[in-house]
A and B are shown apart, each in its own frame.
Chain A
């Protein structure tokens, strides 16, 4: 069974520092990997999707890499801001029906 792990569970950084969030998965047979942001009490917002054939994907200050063979993805957020404070979740798509297996998330606090 696919297992997805996000370490650390929480981190705090001062404003302006770059954020590095890690996601690992046990089975490399994935269709894609998606990163989400979740604010307290809210739904999930899709940030980036990396297809299984891609190595990285970028959107503004966000960059996500994928190393399928080693079962790892990293989300980089450049020049963090207090508004980046949220929980970040990664999820891998495991089959053609679209089932996602989620990590437990990393809670990020960016201090002014």
Chain B
């Protein structure tokens, strides 16, 4: 599982409240990603990071922000949660055993189920 944990694993919150999800990895991977998974849409990239303090937007970044102050932690924040952000959120890392982009495999964390009422 590439040493990826996510917290919390489940969360129920109310519309308008801020929410922060944490992804923690133990193997010093440079690249980290946040995806959301929704029925009918599959997995879509929200934000990604290519190093400490280096982040960029993905396909569905509106309403989300991220931070990475340490290599091991990548935080996803919903500034003001909305019902459309009810989803399962997955964190991933990218690992290459032999070097080179073509050989990089992504490994995923267990996910966080978020319900916004």
User: A93 is contacted by which of B50, B104, B107, B110 (Cβ under 8 Å)?
Assistant: B104
Query: How many Å lie between the Cα of A93 and that of B31 in the bound state?
Result: 14
Asked whether any CB of chain B lies closer than 8 Å to the CB of A83, the reply is: no
Interface flag for A28 (CB, 8 Å)? no
Is A99 on the interface with B (CB-CB < 8 A)? yes
Question: Is the pair A43, B42 in contact by a Cβ cutoff of 8 Å?
Answer: no
Instruction: Collect the chain A residues with CB atoms within 8 Å of residue B45's CB.
Output: 99-100
Interface residues contributed by chain B, number (CB under 8 Å): 25
Complex CA gap A51/B102 in Å reads 5
Interface mask (B86-104 → A, CB under 8 Å = 1, otherwise 0): 0000100010000001111
Closest residue of chain A to B109 (Cβ to Cβ) is A43
Range of interface residues on chain A? 20 to 34
Q: For the complex, is B16 an interface residue (Cβ under 8 Å from A)?
A: no
Whether A102 pairs with B42 at a CB distance below 8 angstroms is yes
Instruction: State whether B102 touches A98 (Cβ < 8 A).
Output: no
CB of A104 closer than 8 Å to a CB of B = yes
A36–B105 alpha-carbon span in the complex (Å): 11
The listed residue (A32, A44, A91, A104) touching B103 by CB distance below 8 A is A32
Which residues of chain A have C-beta atoms less than 8 A from B110's C-beta?
42-43
CB distance A98 to B109 under 8 Å? no
Contact with A along B59-85 (1 / 0, CB 8 A): 000000000000000000000000000
Can you list 15 contacts pairing A with B, beta carbon distance less than 8 Å?
A31-B101, A32-B101, A32-B104, A42-B111, A43-B108, A43-B111, A46-B108, A52-B102, A89-B42, A97-B56, A98-B104, A99-B45, A99-B58, A102-B43, A102-B44
